[in-house]
Amino acid sequence: QVQLVESGGGLVQAGGSLRLSCAASGNIGTIGTMSWYRQAPGKQRDLVATSTSGGYTNYAGSVKGRFTISRDNAKNTVYLQMNSLTPEDTAVYYCYAIVTSAWDTGRYWGQGTQVTVSS
């Protein structure tokens, strides 16, 4: 099994910054895509940013230019640097990863970390 543990959420004022981290542990062979999603109250879970093992990154239009996804493959960790935060960024942020072990490939979610941006 694989576990994803997020950290770094919290309360910040509009215009501020936060850095989220997501560390993968367990039965890990290789990690492919790692992504961040978010879900605001009453809304669906939406993709925020993606990082592939080949170095490709992609962002939702609403965060492009403000958020940066990065990863440390040696630490099996993905980060999300969030700048110029607005109240519309308030949500639970989830880490997602595709992990291949010796015998299968699985898709895993973290437990989520709350980000609240006050106006």
C-beta of residue 64 within 8 angstroms of C-beta of residue 89: no
Q: End-to-end CA distance of the chain: give it in Å, rounded.
A: 40
Q: Per-residue pLDDT tens for 60-70?
A: 999 999 999 99
Q: What is the pLDDT of residue 102?
A: 83
Q: Kindly state the average pLDDT of the residues 39-47.
A: 96
- Flag whether pLDDT at 116 surpasses 90: yes
3-state secondary structure of 62: coil
Instruction: Name the average pLDDT for the chain.
Output: 96
**Strand 91-100 relative to strand 2-7, pairing:** unpaired
